Chain A
Amino acid sequence: MRILLTTHGMPHDEVTLRLGAHVARNAGEPTTVLTVAEDEAHRAHADEILKHACELLADVPSIQTKVRIGHAAREIISESEEGHYGLVIVGERTPPNLLARFLSGSTSVRVVEHAPCPVIVAKGKGGPIGHILLCDSGAEGPLAELVPPSTETRKTGPALLARFTAQLADLLQGEEGITVLHVMSQISAGPGVRGKQLRADFEELIEERTPEGELFKQDLLLLERPGVRVRPKVRHGLVVDEILKEAQAGDYDLVVIGAHRGASWQRILLDDLAHKLLIELDRPVLVVR
């Protein structure tokens, strides 16, 4: 897998590079380290940034470096499109004040929204990845949530975990513990509705063959590989809040979430939970698309 690792010479980029080093070791292909300079006058500074990055990435087998000139987010997105990368790793580079954030937006958020491949936003301590929280809603598109996978009507792509294992499984070193989390934010719509499933744990959901239970069964099958410890978990409450609570409580090294849905009407009508999580999580986030 080709990995694009970005750095801007900021203090928090140490986290990005440390995390990138851990991920890139298993990539199997050269890792590209990219920095973006505002204009040609800053090229020399960009070279220095890359030199420092290479020192930190000394134990990564194969490294290429690249400087692009222009707007940081736009150039990272262009590079990720042109270079056909399998994964982009960016640092959290939020503008210092509200006005700057309003005018230019966060680089990492823009890259996550527009990059054609999965993106890791490095934040927090950025150490080795041994403990992963995978937040699976079970769907890429609306039809996929309701319709069994065997039917022709399942027109959209596979669920988050299937995409994760298809795109990024090679990066797993076989020693990770993965918690597959499903948040049930539903309540009963009326007083007469029987809500046993609203209080059930994952075992009961599987036993009762609920959509969530079926999802857990599929997830457990997909992640069945030597060395990987998988633990399904259900939480009840608001989706964003429960993911944040679980990330804190479990002290995970990486949180995996799905990207906001891309289809036009969905983009307008559906809440962008990925964006909220990206802003509020205090640890590395992998956004799978």
Chain B
Amino acid sequence: MQEPREPKMKAPIAAQQRLPTNGAQSLPGEGPARPVRPKLALWQKVNLRKIGLFVVSLYLFILAITLMKDGARGLAPFVRNLFSVNSPANALGFGWLSAYTIMSGSPVAAASLTFFDAGVMNKLETFAMINGSRLGASFIVLFIGFLYVLRGRNKATSLSMGLLSLTVTAIIHLPAFFLGLWLLHAGTLDAVQLSSGALLTSLTDLAIEPIVNVVTGLLPIWAVFLVGLGVSMVSFNLFDRCLPQATLKDSQVGWMSRLVYRPWVMFIVGCLITMISMSVSVSLSILVPLSARGFVRRENVIPYIMGANITTFIDTLLAAVLLKNTDAFTVVLVVMVTVAVISMIVLALFYNRFQRAVLTFVEWVTTRNRNLAFFMIGIFLVPIFLMLV
């Protein structure tokens, strides 16, 4: 899903409490009392604008997948010859760099499925490109942090979350990638299919096909794909705006962010929140206003990212259903299952060592400018190298 959004900070609770309170009385030590809001009925709390945005974003997502599906064949020469994507390693680098280029992972993952559906890529290459898209997507939080560093903010503060996200994703995805290749080769998960996509796809035929016919009639086939990619990015952007904005004041759960939870608990929370938000960076940004000062416990954040990395592929799974391609569905399922399996092994067997290693590495990167430069160069050189091999 959409990755590059900068987390929107709500005013910390201390600042909120300094706001004028319309003369309301306050008790010593409590801060000014808040103005009393009239209690709303459940139906009054429903935000129709957000529901409308959600419907529009879903419609645009389906339209985008259909356009990319129809346009993917036209891009075959570009992918095979111009970008030389002829192996899983190439596809991994291609997905990785593509996610950097459009600053988002989900449209790249969806595009890889349409390439597969059009016969431009095989199963293993598609699997590799989806993995690459996730690695590229986790760079975006780091990139935003880097912009803050350039504006003079502290390195460790600005980059920690991005570095954690990228490092955890890379460490988990590496073994998951090889496990996934083996699973695809063995066909272990081929039999697992979602059979309830029929209603969705018949609705698609009614509401989408007329528009797709117009676009394909007007534009060359390769341009249809690019229009689809653009529409998918717009749809993800709109979807992010549908999500409820958590604030400490509204949620009343700000105190929960100060506690240290069991890793499994945070893992499940990361899974659940990202199942709704469909974006790791959006899920991470949800953590910001939950704490009065925008802080999060080191102990809590790593398993949260591990959980988020699994369910962030829900939208890619939906794209596979829309394509009515059972093999595409299997590929996405394998990505999710392998990431989940490796994450659970880490959590069950050597989480403490994993946590310390990740945090030590993040600290090493932010300690000196030279280390940061090595790291930044590395995360560009690795995908370029993968594309060239």
Contacts and interface: CB of A to CB of B under 8 A. Distances in A.
Interface stretch (A37-45, A142-150, A162-170): A142-150
Given A190-B284, A191-B148, A273 B260 contact: yes
A97 interface: no
Interface stretch (B114-122, B166-174, B286-294, B341-349): B286-294
A56 interface: no
B318 to A, nearest CB: 27
Contacts of A148: 29-30
Contacts of A199: 154, 156-157
Interface stretch (A88-96, A118-126, A235-243): A235-243
Interface residues of B, number: 50
A188 B288 CA distance: 8
B262 A269 contact: yes
Contacts of A195: 154, 156-157, 295
B295 A189 contact: yes
Contact of B287 (A189, A192, A241): A189
Contacts, number: 135
Interface in B114-173: 141, 144-145, 147-148, 153-154, 156-162, 164
Contact of B157 (A146, A194, A237): A194
B9 A190 contact: yes
B190 interface: no
A145 B295 contact: no
A191 B255 contact: no
B48 to A, nearest CB: 29
Contact of A239 (B7, B260, B291, B296): B260
A172 to B, nearest CB: 29
B291 to A, nearest CB: 6
Interface string A176-214: 000000000111111111111111000000000000000
B107 to A, nearest CB: 22
A151 B17 CA distance: 15
B254 interface: yes
A191 B144 contact: yes
A211 to B, nearest CB: 8
Contacts of B244: none
B161 A151 contact: no
B136 to A, nearest CB: 18
Contact of B291 (A142, A151, A189, A241): A189
23 contacts: A142-B256, A148-B29, A150-B29, A185-B299, A186-B291, A187-B160, A187-B161, A188-B160, A189-B290, A189-B295, A189-B296, A189-B301, A190-B288, A190-B294, A191-B147, A192-B158, A195-B157, A237-B298, A238-B355, A239-B299, A271-B261, A271-B299, A272-B262
